[in-house]
């Protein structure tokens, strides 16, 4: 049985212990930020008793996606770079649309 688990334990050691550095810490922090967007969306939806996409979802998406992009660039992972880089466009665009909607809802100043 030990012969079966030895390669698996060696792999886990190589991946989670031997390669642990500052980039891994950044990667985990970025993943936590990215995951928080789902937590925020879930809580908001539960409170509203309907599906809700709060603005914080997009800010967590932008923060987590940006940090994950930095991590992916440091790791030289082209798939991860492309995925996070393209996602940032969507996050920025949604925040832009939300800001435009907010500005449009503000009362017009009196033109005198």
Encoded tokens for 101: 């909607």
Q: Quote the pLDDT of residue 14.
A: 86
Q: Quote the pLDDT of residue 12.
A: 82
Q: Quote the pLDDT of residue 112.
A: 55
Burial class (CB in 10 A: 0-12, 13-18, 19+), 61: buried
Per the prediction, the chain carries an average pLDDT of 90
pLDDT per position as a tens digit, 67-97: 999 999 999 999 999 999 999 999 999 999 9
Q: Quote the pLDDT of residue 111.
A: 57
pLDDT per position as a tens digit, 5-61: 898 888 888 888 888 889 889 989 999 998 999 999 999 999 999 988 999 999 999
């Amino acid at each position: 049985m030990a012969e079966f688990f030895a390669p698996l334990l060696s792999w886990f050691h190589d991946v989670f212990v031997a390669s642990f550095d500052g980039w891994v810490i950044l990667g985990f922090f970025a993943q936590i930020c990215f995951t928080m967007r789902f937590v925020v969306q879930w809580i908001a939806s539960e409170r509203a008793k309907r599906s809700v996409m709060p603005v914080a979802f997009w800010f967590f998406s932008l923060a987590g996606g940006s940090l994950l992009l930095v991590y992916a660039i440091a790791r030289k992972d082209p798939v991860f770079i492309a995925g996070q880089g393209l996602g940032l466009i969507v996050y920025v665009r949604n925040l832009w649309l939300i800001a435009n909607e907010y500005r449009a809802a503000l009362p017009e100043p009196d033109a005198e």
